[in-house]
Amino acid sequence: MLFTVILASSQEGLMGTAASVGETFGFNTWAFVAQVLSFSIVCAVLYKFAYHPILKLLEDRRQQIEFTYREAAAIKVQVADAERRANDIVVQASSGAHKIVEEAKAAAQQFQEKQIGQAKQDAEDLITKAREATKRDYDRMLAELKGEVARLVVETTAKVTGRILTPEDQRRLVEEANREIAA
């Protein structure tokens, strides 16, 4: 019971101290609530119009890369099929006479090496082209993303501040947004 009384009196003392500190520094509860509400609205708008579209864009890019790798795997299967077919030719040729067998082995070996070399070259070319296309798309999308984020930052800042931004303000905001994206 005594502890409860001491605790209640110390809480009143703390509340009084907190109130006097707030008055000393000019703390305004309603202004604080309004600022928290404004910040929450800005966060929600940025999530809806900046963060969410970026995530969708990255997911689309991931799916496209995944599709490209599946195509590369299909080409590897075709290479294996070409090797299997080359081996089948060698087996069929071996059923003939010794001279035909030797000629068939030489021809099959050359054919196999040529097919494998060509298939490997084709696969490497396709993979290289896919990587280059992915890199170009990534660079293009990153440039688009930077432009869109910069536009959204300028637009959102103008709406939040309620004033028209000067070209210098806009340039500064765009540079800051681009630095953030690059990081």
Residue-wise pLDDT for 138-156, tens only, equals 889 888 887 887 788 778 8
Cβ–Cβ contacts within 10 Å for residue 102, how many?
13
Domain that holds residue 92: 29-182
At residue 11, does pLDDT exceed 80? no
Specify burial of residue 108 (Cβ count, 10 A radius: 0-12, 13-18, 19+). buried
Query: Exposed e or buried b for every residue in 122-146, given b needs 16+ CB within 10 A?
Result: ebeeebeebeeeeeeeeeebeeebb
Confidence of residue 79 (pLDDT cuts 50, 70, 90): confident
133 located within any domain: yes
- Whole-angstrom distance, CA of residue 20 vs CA of residue 42: 32
Q: Tokens 């970026």: give the residue.
A: 54
165 Cβ contact partners less than 8 Å away, ≥ 6 residues apart? 154, 157, 158, 173
Q: How far apart are CA 134 and CA 66, in angstroms?
A: 11
pLDDT tens digits, one per residue of 19-78: 788 788 888 889 899 999 999 999 999 888 988 898 899 999 999 999 999 998 888 888
Is the pLDDT confidence value at 1 over 70? no
pLDDT beyond 60 at 95: yes
14 assigned to some structural domain: no
Share of the chain above pLDDT 70, in %: 90
The model carries a pTM of 0.34
Total Cβ atoms within 10 A of residue 154: 18
pLDDT of 7 higher than 60: no
The pLDDT of residue 44 is: 92
Domain total in the chain: 1
pLDDT recorded at residue 73: 87
CB 143 within 8 A of CB 136: no
| Residues 120/122/128/132 CA torsion (nearest 10 deg) | -170
Confirm whether 11 is domain-assigned: no
How far apart (Å, rounded) are the C-alpha atoms in residues 107 and 111? 6
With bands split at pLDDT 50, 70 and 90, how would you rate the model's confidence at 96? low
**Whole-number pLDDT of residue 97:** 65
- Report CA 114 to chain centroid distance, whole Å: 40
Q: What is the mean pLDDT of residues 77-82?
A: 85
* Greater pLDDT, 69 or 5: 69
10 lies in some domain: no
Domain membership flag for residue 22: no
Sign of CA dihedral 87, 88, 91, 96: negative
